[in-house]
Amino acid sequence: MRRTRAWPGMLCLLLAAPMVQADELPAETIRELVRYNTHAAIELYREFLNQPNDANSPADIEELVAWMLPRFERRNFETRLLETAGSPLLFARLPNPDAGVTVLVYLQADGQPVDRSRWFQDDPYTPVLKERGADGDWNIIPWHSLDEKIDPDWRIFARSASDSKGPMTQFLIAMDILEQAGVAPAFDLKVIVDTEEELGSPNLPDALARHRDLLAADMLVGLVRAHIEKLGFHVVDEEPTEAERQRHADIVRFESEISYAAFRSGFDDPPGLLARAGMKNLYGEEPILIRTMGGSIPIAPFVETLGAPAAIVPTVNMDNNQHSPNENLRLGNFIEGIAVLASVLSRKID
Average pLDDT in the 199-218 region?
88
Mean pLDDT lowest among 180-189, 214-223, 261-270: 214-223
**What percentage of residues in the chain have a pLDDT greater than 90?**
65
The amino acid at 103 = V
Give the start-to-end residue ranges of the domains of the chain: 27-220+265-345, 223-257
Per DSSP, the three-state class of 252 is strand
| pLDDT 10s digits, 291-331 | 776 666 788 888 888 888 888 888 999 999 999 999 999 99
The overall average pLDDT reported for the chain is 87
Q: Tell me the C-alpha to C-alpha distance, in Å, between residue 153 and each of 144, 150, 194.
A: 16, 9, 30
Per-residue model confidence (pLDDT) at position 295: 61
The whole-number pLDDT of residue 28 equals: 97
pLDDT, tens digit (0-9, with 9 covering 90-100), for 96-142: 878 878 889 999 999 999 999 999 999 999 999 999 999 999 999 99
pTM: 0.84
Residue 227 phi/psi, 5-degree rounding, is -65, -40
Confidence band (pLDDT; 50, 70, 90) for 52? very high
At 18 the pLDDT is 36
Selection from 159, 209, 214, 170 nearest residue 192 by Cα: 214
The class of domain 27-220+265-345 in CATH terms is: alpha beta
Assign 73 a pLDDT band (cuts: 50, 70, 90): very high
Q: Is the dihedral of CA 212, 217, 218, 220 positive or negative?
A: negative
How far apart CA 271 and CA 309 sit, in angstroms, is: 7
DSSP string computed for 85-134: SSSPEEEEEE--TTT--EEEEEEE--B----GGG-SSS-TTS-EEEEE-T
Residue 44 has pLDDT above 60, yes or no: yes
Check pLDDT > 60 for residue 288: yes
Q: Identify whether the C-beta of residue 197 lies closer than 8 Å to the C-beta of residue 112.
A: no
